[in-house]
A and B are shown apart, each in its own frame.
Chain A
């Protein structure tokens, strides 16, 4: 897919760390939360990054494409407008639902892995794609629970979603690790089952263990185990891009730079460094 290759290593742009993102070495691309941006009034920092030629990819959290409620086309339109405003080659959201029956979950809820739920998801994704100016990538979420009566593994579910919609995959290795730890998903099987040739890019994030449970907080350091899952992924395919997500408790510039360097080291371990930086 044109424009997706060689994104490099990036970081989620957040207003609290805008100056940090601007001055950090080794930031090849950034991701913005689409719902936080206003068309016609882009943050100065985002404009500056665009002027420097840094790709800016909009990431949505509210399309609720896995839900039974009708897709809110206003939200899709906003995402599309953000993509056009920043000249993004693609946009993304999650394989989840966040609303049902007029209630907002406030969290990315996993979709039941049944054929029926997949039909609903596929229909919603197709509708979103028809209303978006650029390709759509969908991300695996960290599930706090697993719905009963699942008919497909997570990998099979995503593979079928890609086959029926032509969407791209945004693989979050921290979510993959969280699911392995919390609900017993096998990351290797997941990676075996998904079509890696449709991999748009990868998310890496930090979290912490609380007893037997792993919390995908995005507010702690990236654990070696999560980098291990990235390593496993990179042993199968060189991802077009890898992005560090940090949403709170932002550490020092030095620590963020080290996390980016650690990510780059894992990717480069599996092949010659091709990314510009």
Chain B
């Protein structure tokens, strides 16, 4: 795949792409996908994940090492994804993305943000009668925008994701998740994983799935509903905001 570069020229890893795309749960899925791809863990039909070696052999990142530690004894597919999403190593990955300026601390959207904008409009109209009220318009607009919240992925992060082309199965997981589809083919199938296994994942994480009918290589701007790939329908509209849009609940596996 074409590895995207940040504004600082740093290459994004698949895990980072996963985190920027859909949060720590997706990053955990991506790390797990890399370990399956490398033959370092195996998943059984009933969804038990086991490390092939007992000494974290083959881990290339802290998150991967965390997964291998968890999987020294068989552990459920969903449990390992969620535990990893909540791990210290995932917090470190998040911090790295913050340091790189690819993410920021999101602000939760206040449901009253629309009211502030409505107030601004009213003040604008009344300002033609009582001009001093014009002074309140920028204040109301500014307050409304502040209340509207702030997404977790920065503009730089979104731009970096725009260059992501998912052309291997690990990056397919980063971009679409195990529950997503590429060319109408479930991503999980590329790993020999049945739907019963990936359906162990919590519903909110599965809803972050995306799909592509263009064989991958579509640009990504961080979430299911805002991608340049043509969707083949499995993309859940309810998850259009994805990472950070709703304020901080980024990633199905819980947040760091």
Contacts and interface: CB of A to CB of B under 8 A. Distances in A.
A250 B42 contact: yes
Contact of B48 (A16, A20, A252): A16
Interface string B28-68: 00000000000110111110101011100000000000000
B74 A16 contact: yes
B138 interface: no
A253 B52 CA distance: 9
B44 A254 contact: no
Contacts of B74: 16
The binding surface of chain A is classed by DSSP as helix
B192 interface: yes
A19 B50 CA distance: 12
B192 A18 contact: no
B192 A23 contact: yes
A43 B39 contact: no
A15 B47 CA distance: 10
A18 B194 CA distance: 13
B39 A19 contact: no
Please classify the interface of chain B as helix (H, G, I), strand (E, B), loop, or mixed, using the class held by over half of its residues.
loop
A44 interface: yes
Given A23-B192, A251-B52, A252-B52, A16 B44 contact: yes
A122 to B, nearest CB: 40
Given A249-B54, A250-B52, A251-B52, A18 B39 contact: no
A182 interface: no
A249 B50 CA distance: 9
Contacts of A127: none
B42 A20 contact: yes
Nearest to B74: A16
Contacts of A16: 42, 44, 48, 50, 74
Interface in B104-123: none
Contacts of A44: 45
Contacts of B53: 251
Contacts, number: 35
A17 interface: yes
A153 interface: no
Interface in A19-54: 19-20, 23, 43-45
A19 B42 contact: yes
A15 B44 contact: yes
A240 B154 CA distance: 66
B33 to A, nearest CB: 15
Interface residues of A, number: 16
A254 B39 CA distance: 9
Contacts of A45: 45
Contacts of B54: 249
Contacts of B192: 19, 23
A43 B47 CA distance: 13
B200 to A, nearest CB: 16
A251 B57 CA distance: 12
A249 B39 CA distance: 14
A44 B47 CA distance: 13
Contacts of B48: 15-16
Contact of A18 (B40, B45, B52): B45
Contacts of B42: 16-17, 19-20, 250, 253
Nearest to B48: A16
Nearest to B50: A16
A252 B40 CA distance: 7
A17 B40 CA distance: 13
A141 to B, nearest CB: 27
A17 B192 CA distance: 13
Contacts of B45: 15, 18-19, 43-45
B146 to A, nearest CB: 51
Contact of A252 (B39, B43, B44): B39
Given A252-B39, A253-B39, A15 B52 contact: no
Interface string A235-263: 00000000000000111111000000000
A218 to B, nearest CB: 15
25 contacts: A15-B45, A15-B46, A15-B48, A16-B42, A16-B44, A16-B50, A17-B42, A18-B44, A18-B45, A19-B42, A19-B43, A19-B44, A20-B42, A23-B192, A43-B45, A44-B45, A45-B45, A250-B42, A250-B50, A250-B52, A251-B53, A252-B52, A253-B39, A253-B42, A254-B39
For the complex of A and B, list the 6 residue pairs with the smallest distance between their C-beta atoms, beginning with the closest.
Answer: A252-B39, A252-B52, A18-B45, A18-B44, A16-B44, A45-B45
Interface of B: 39-40, 42-46, 48, 50, 52-54, 74, 192
